Structure 1
Amino acid sequence: MAEPVIENQTHHHVFRRLMGYLKLDKKSLTLAILLLIIATGADVLGPIIMKVFIDGYLTKRYFPTAPLVLLAVAFIAAYGVSALFHYYQMVLFQKVALNIIQKMRVQVFSKVQHLGLTFFDQTPGGSLVSRITNDTEAIKELFVSVLSAFLSSGVTMIGIFAGMFFLDVRMALICLVLMPFILFLMWWYGRLSSAVYRVTRAKLSQLNAKLNESLQGMAIIQAMRQEKRLRDEFGRINEAHKVSRLKNVKLNALMLRSAVYSVYLLGLILILSFFGIQSFAGVVSIGVLYAFVNYLDRFFDPVNQIMQQLTLYQEAMVSAERVFGLLDDKRMAPIQIGQHSPKIHEGKVEFRDVSFSYDGKTDVLKHISFTANPGETVALVGHTGSGKSSIINLLMRFYSIDRGEIVIDGAPLTAFTNEELRRRVGLVLQDSFLFVGDVASNIRLSRSVSEADVREAANFVQADAFIEKLPQQYQEAIGERGATFSSGQRQLLAFARTMTLKPKILVLDEATASVDTETEEAIQLALSKMRQGRTTIAIAHRLSTIQDADQILVLHRGEIVERGNHQTLLEKHGLYYQMYQLQHGADQEKVVHR
């Protein structure tokens, strides 16, 4: 399964979009920048104070108490202001960054909740986890570390150059010659590292996807002895990720230390050469020499910092491309069309010449037409791949209809709001999903359902019989996916959850397919009660469970090939008759063997 296609966005566009998040906390950001400028000014002032001390007092061997105390106090004060304001500006930058990432993660998670099933059909779950966690974490580093480092380093470099020009214009111009070399290194590093990080992020996403697949299918992996195959596949992806990371390490080792240090040495040679030449012509100011060497050393600290942060910057930009690609994905869940918002009162369902394709090429449904009148039960039967689940998917509006129309109570399906549709159409799947929590919360699902209604729903579907035997009853803890409950118990809880909605239309997707024989009788009795007075559309594997259906639709390769009630279809001696004979014969054989 491939990852979702990422819209090709320019580096500049991605950066501008990221910077747009800074508007969320302008006051804190402005204050942080102001504190940074003050702290940098204090940093720059230190070498100038030392220059005054060296040239004005040390070299002249002149040590008056009052001026020296004043210089010492000024130097200590500058250091103290620098340390204090750097601390507060860093805290403010971190606060801004964490607020941004909190909002971004909520945005991404919310977007995922509203994507259509088409997106999830084409996207590995592990890849999504990687985007919501790893990629947003990388973006966090952009705001936490990179942005503050870039601003701090940029302000520091400007301040250092200001100090240099204040001391000696000619020397400052000589040092300015180094800037093209530094900018070239940054540009070259960004160009090389971007491609490496894009591969690294893709491989990390693949690792998460493979890990997620392995954890979810662990029972099958162990039962079919697939451990070695999965380990080998994971190992190959992991090796590719390691190779990509090693390329990045080599690139960093070359660019972040060796190349930058070479430029630093070039600057040091220029400064010493200039002062050496100057010494032949006259007296050289030792204080100015000290200040320039100190400034040069301080100047390359932010250069090194920027180069090191470029690693995180490139990683964040690649991650931002992936996150924005997800936020911009157009494969949304179908929503209401038009302003008219009809209500479901009776529950009459009509399919009118509906055709549908998942991939836009091969139709899985072809000219489906039928009517389920209020209170009737319509059963869908057919071999695997005949289109039964696709009919349910379209009725639940998980996918948009290609051709034809679905109508509920005379209004097109597209006209209903999601709230009305989900409230009035109850769905029970073959594999009932339970959330981490307790029994009551899984029946209620955070809706405004009273405790009395929870118990009433459980009693209605006869789930109360096993719930009240639990140690904590309705407060009994439920682990991930309800693994400690039997399939029948999970199904009864799903029935109770559905009945709290009091739906007018009931959709059953093979609700008894995975239920053990012992629980099936309770399930069938619950289903019988649930169907009373409701329009029911049910997919059934076991034909014995739908013999009392008002209408049975037999599907084959996406078409309705037979329709009628149980007895009528048997008399036709068609596909339904063959399916019934196969199942009936199998059931008879089981009885004989017993």
Structure 2
Amino acid sequence: MFDKNLLSELQPYRCKIYAIILADIVLAGVIIARCYYLADIINGMLFFQLSLQTAVPQLVLLFVLFLAETGLGYGIHAVTHSISVGIRRRIRRALVYKLSESSPLSSIYDNTDLLPLLTRGIDSLDAYFAQFLPQMIVTVVIPLVILPAAFYCDWISGFIFLLTMPLIPFFMILIGKKAQVENNRQWTALSRLSELFMNLLSGMSVIKVYNQTKNQLKKAVDTGELFSQAVLRVLRIAFLSAFFLELIATLSIAIIAVNIGFRLLSGQTIFLAAFFILLLAPEFYKPLRQTGSMFHQAMDALTNSPKIYNLLDDKITKEQFCKKKIHLDSAPCIVFTGVGFNYNANRENVLRDINMEFAAGKVTALIGRSGAGKSTVFSLLMKFAKPDKGKILINGEDIGTIATDSLRENIAYVAQRAYIFNASIRENICLGRKVNAERLQKAISAAGLTKVIAAMPQQLDTIIGDDSRKLSSGQMRRLSLARAFLSDAPLLLLDEPLESLDSITEKVVKEGIRQLSEGKTVVIIAHRLASIKQADAIYVMDRGKIVEHGSDSELKRNKALYYKMVNSTMEGSLI
């Protein structure tokens, strides 16, 4: 019912919470006064010939009390809503920051709950902060304020209030435990359904090629049916809970009404006291009844809270604030000293005792068979991963001490297959940066995209990345080059930029890379001979180690692994 992580979010709002408690105490007093004055007016009209004209002051006061009650309720709701908005905004920002700082290799991106948590999961916290917790305060404050008034007016009715009051929370807790279990099952079913849809959409071409559409459709329908059943089970418990809570409250009010009726007939109490207690009884049980329904609305928040805080529980959100900034005015020198790395502590190292240097202003090539560790070197340079041992120095500075954002501002990366966003060509090249038209046009021209864009329907404003318009592999590579030209960073990382290109496109891309590499430190992951011919230094990797390094001519004279790879190539490919 109470979550320590969610309750800790209330610390900055203590003053507002105290104000809510005070407002609820005042609200309870207004309710008591409103019930008393209404009972007094009816009593006067029935037994003391109170006329409407004479009762005007009391009616005006009663109207003021109604207004005060409504105003207090609205004010409490506004304050609790502002608290809920503030907490959800902080959590959403923390999650977004966590995602932006996390490595793309992190398991956080494999979490199928990620999208539901960022959307529906965080929004579900509103029911907890804006409804359930305020209702719990009301449930504690109002009955405790009303109870002394009931004892003072009629101690027997007050005693019945006291005896029946624990019944509603008791049954709510019993039913709530079962509801929590079913709600967890509902969320699990939703996660499975989300995961299934993501897998089906990403593998749609494979499903169609192997003629498995009907089978997968049946699987989706069955999984959707399981989710529907889980939702219905939660709703059934919610309706049963509401029924029992209303029944208990109604029976309690009935007991009080019957008891007061018999005593009123026998002359053991007066009409004013009896009617006042009858008006007070529904107000006494109302918060208790409402708590049950509010609890069911807050169930999603209690289910999602552990998942949200498991994502937030990471050092990465704390470390970035204490790291230094870096700005490289010229091509940097990068040195790997005894670097070791593994994605899984229980497996063999991906990189083992790597020592190498990427000289400033030079082109260095990394070659090796698939799985040798080349891409991992790039991941370490871009801080997508951290070395398990050893250091990576950039101009003598350990990159572990440099803020991630600051480091990446000095890196341009051309991937083997550039990701294309479903947006305009302009947006795909600029990636949110404000760029003047002249600078953008220079980057486009240098990447050999001028004619390609000119042939597009809306040129730079043409939407790409969706099913209506696809780019070829070569065009995507050029677009990636345009991004790199635009950043003009002093460190350039190229992941086999000439892979899968026809001869004409290869020539354009090679020329673009030549221009882009001027005055920069360039590191190339090479699978093709054409990519390493102009390299100043070559490092040959095998099973996570540097097995040899030197220039092309030096490595050929050694007649070791590099020599064997070059002489066994097919169509210019090293692997």
TM-score (norm 2): 0.87
Q: Distance in 1 between matches of 2:210 and 2:538?
A: 37
Which residue of the partner structure matches residue 367 of structure 2? 381
> Cα distance, 1:200 vs. partner?
2.9
1:33-67 deviations in whole A, cap 9, x for unaligned? 66665555444333322321343331x26243433
Which residue of the partner structure matches residue 353 of structure 1? 338
Query: Residues 530 and 572 of structure 2 are in contact (CA less than 8 Å); yes or no, is this contact kept in structure 1?
Result: no
Q: Structure 1 residues 272, 228: CA separation in 2 closer, same or farther (over 3 Å shift)? A: same
Query: Residues 526 and 532 of structure 2 are in contact (CA less than 8 Å); yes or no, is this contact kept in structure 1?
Result: yes
Identify the match of residue 300 of structure 2 among 301, 311, 315. 315
Q: Distance in 2 between matches of 1:570 and 1:224?
A: 46
Query: Residues 126 and 210 of structure 1 are in contact (CA less than 8 Å); yes or no, is this contact kept in structure 2?
Result: no
1:133-180 deviations in whole A, cap 9, x for unaligned? 111011022223323433445444345435423432332122111122
Query: Residues 372 and 541 of structure 2 are in contact (CA less than 8 Å); yes or no, is this contact kept in structure 1?
Result: yes
> Cα distance, 1:462 vs. partner?
2.4
Identify the match of residue 532 of structure 2 among 538, 546, 563. 546
Q: Which deviates the most, 131-140 or 457-466?
A: 457-466
Q: Distance in 2 between matches of 1:569 and 1:272?
A: 102
Q: Structure 1 residues 310, 275: CA separation in 2 closer, same or farther (over 3 Å shift)? A: same
Aligned length: 572
Q: Distance in 1 between matches of 2:503 and 2:28?
A: 76
Query: Residues 346 and 409 of structure 1 are in contact (CA less than 8 Å); yes or no, is this contact kept in structure 2?
Result: no
1:389-437 deviations in whole A, cap 9, x for unaligned? 1111112221111122222333333244435422332211122124454
Which residue of the partner structure matches residue 48 of structure 1? 36
Which residue of the partner structure matches residue 105 of structure 1? 92
Q: Which deviates the most, 498-507 or 231-240?
A: 231-240
> Cα distance, 1:529 vs. partner?
1.9
Which residue of the partner structure matches residue 16 of structure 1? 7
Query: Residues 434 and 481 of structure 1 are in contact (CA less than 8 Å); yes or no, is this contact kept in structure 2?
Result: no
Query: SS of the counterpart of 2:315?
Result: coil
Q: Distance in 1 between matches of 2:273 and 2:235?
A: 39
Q: Distance in 2 between matches of 1:517 and 1:287?
A: 100
Which residue of the partner structure matches residue 352 of structure 2? 366
Query: Residues 36 and 276 of structure 2 are in contact (CA less than 8 Å); yes or no, is this contact kept in structure 1?
Result: yes
Which runs of 5 or more residues in structure 1 are unaligned?
A: 1-9, 588-594
Q: Structure 1 residues 223, 309: CA separation in 2 closer, same or farther (over 3 Å shift)? A: same
Which residue of the partner structure matches residue 288 of structure 1? 273
> Cα distance, 1:328 vs. partner?
1.5
Q: Structure 1 residues 42, 332: CA separation in 2 closer, same or farther (over 3 Å shift)? A: closer
Q: Structure 1 residues 498, 333: CA separation in 2 closer, same or farther (over 3 Å shift)? A: farther
Q: Is 2:122 aligned against 1:136?
A: yes
For residues 220-239 of structure 1, the aligned pairs below 5 Å read 220-228=206-214, 230-231=216-217, 234-235=220-221, 237-239=223-225
Q: Is 2:387 aligned against 1:401?
A: yes
Q: Structure 1 residues 373, 469: CA separation in 2 closer, same or farther (over 3 Å shift)? A: same
Query: Residues 117 and 333 of structure 1 are in contact (CA less than 8 Å); yes or no, is this contact kept in structure 2?
Result: no
> Cα distance, 1:583 vs. partner?
4.2
Which residue of the partner structure matches residue 410 of structure 2? 424
> Cα distance, 1:217 vs. partner?
3.7
Query: Residues 364 and 387 of structure 1 are in contact (CA less than 8 Å); yes or no, is this contact kept in structure 2?
Result: yes
Which residue of the partner structure matches residue 443 of structure 2? 457
- The AA in structure 2 aligned to 1:487 is S
Query: Residues 462 and 492 of structure 1 are in contact (CA less than 8 Å); yes or no, is this contact kept in structure 2?
Result: yes
Q: Distance in 2 between matches of 1:179 and 1:38?
A: 21
Q: Which deviates the most, 45-54 or 439-448?
A: 439-448
1:184-203 deviations in whole A, cap 9, x for unaligned? 22333343333333343343
1:365-410 deviations in whole A, cap 9, x for unaligned? 1222222223332222223222111111112221111122222333
Query: SS of the counterpart of 2:511?
Result: helix
Q: Structure 1 residues 472, 65: CA separation in 2 closer, same or farther (over 3 Å shift)? A: closer
Query: SS of the counterpart of 1:363?
Result: coil
- The AA in structure 2 aligned to 1:312 is Q
Identify the match of residue 45 of structure 2 among 26, 35, 57. 57
> Cα distance, 1:308 vs. partner?
0.5
- The AA in structure 2 aligned to 1:50 is L
- The AA in structure 2 aligned to 1:124 is D
> Cα distance, 1:307 vs. partner?
0.4
- The AA in structure 1 aligned to 2:98 is K
Q: Distance in 2 between matches of 1:69 and 1:338?
A: 72
- The AA in structure 2 aligned to 1:46 is R
Which residue of the partner structure matches residue 7 of structure 1? none
Identify the match of residue 285 of structure 2 among 300, 312, 322. 300
Q: Is 2:138 aligned against 1:147?
A: no
Which residue of the partner structure matches residue 66 of structure 1? 53
Q: Distance in 1 between matches of 2:554 and 2:183?
A: 65
> Cα distance, 1:364 vs. partner?
0.9
- The AA in structure 1 aligned to 2:276 is A
CA-atom RMSD, angstroms? Answer: 3.5
- The AA in structure 2 aligned to 1:461 is A
TM-score (norm 1): 0.84
Query: Residues 570 and 577 of structure 1 are in contact (CA less than 8 Å); yes or no, is this contact kept in structure 2?
Result: yes
Which runs of 5 or more residues in structure 2 are unaligned?
A: none
Q: Is 2:59 aligned against 1:82?
A: no
1:303-357 deviations in whole A, cap 9, x for unaligned? 2211011112232122222222222233669869876968563422222232210
Q: Is 2:524 aligned against 1:529?
A: no
Query: SS of the counterpart of 1:370?
Result: strand
Query: SS of the counterpart of 2:352?
Result: strand
